[in-house]
Chains A and B, each alone.
Chain A
């Protein structure tokens, strides 16, 4: 069983739609990261969360530690948001990042 599960695997939406990507994990964590991987392969850190909620522009990330679940929301989605969004957790037993498989998001104009 994967320690980090993301859903959906693929998501296609129209420009302007509200997007939600989910991440569930099964291990104890010290932090959860949301990252964005562009079509060329580059990886950018979006958020690092250990509790609650964070907002950056049109992106919002939430985490529920008790339920071992996090969500990434994109408001007013735009074609430039098209990318793979990856959830990765930092295990509380070591400092390794355990990566999810990613959610491929396509926003159509």
Chain B
């Protein structure tokens, strides 16, 4: 069964460093998402991406964040200068569409980011 994959599973970085989190969505899906979950808190929407551009973003997704689909398979989240409060689990998801039964999102296993 097709699945969303994410790499790395864990990343430890120093404050101020740049990190790139990678995701490979399901191949026929057109909509891609990033979410984060700070330990012990609820999942929060970061950004959605369609047709090579951001379609929605939350207040969390400030100038320190960027997303990219550098090739036909990868979808990346970059944090330019990490802060301690960026420590969280980051989930990538993808869906076929936004309506008509195609909006179910499939989630990757997450990348646990720890900023020291």
Q: Is the CB of B104 within 8 A of A45?
A: yes
Q: Which of A10-18, A60-68, A93-101 is near enough to bind chain B?
A: A93-101
Considering only CB atoms, which chain A residue lies closest to B48 in the complex?
A95
Q: Which residues in A have some Cβ–Cβ distance to B below 8 Å?
A: 30-31, 33, 35, 40-45, 48, 86, 88, 90, 94-102
- A10 shortest CB reach to chain B, Å: 13
Q: Collect the chain B residues with CB atoms within 8 Å of residue A45's CB.
A: 104-107
CB contacts (< 8 Å) of B44 on chain A: these are: 99
Contacts A95-B48, A99-B42 given; indicate if A48 touches B98 (C-beta within 8 A). Answer: no
Chain B facing A: main interface SS: strand
- Measured in the bound complex, the distance between the Cα atoms of B100 and A31 in whole Å is 11
Counting chain B CB atoms within 10 Å of each CB, the highest count among A33, A48, A97 belongs to: A97
List of B residues within 8 angstroms of A42 by Cβ: 107, 109-110
By the criterion CB–CB under 8 Å, are B104 and A48 in contact? yes
* Min C-beta distance of B30 to chain A, whole Å: 12
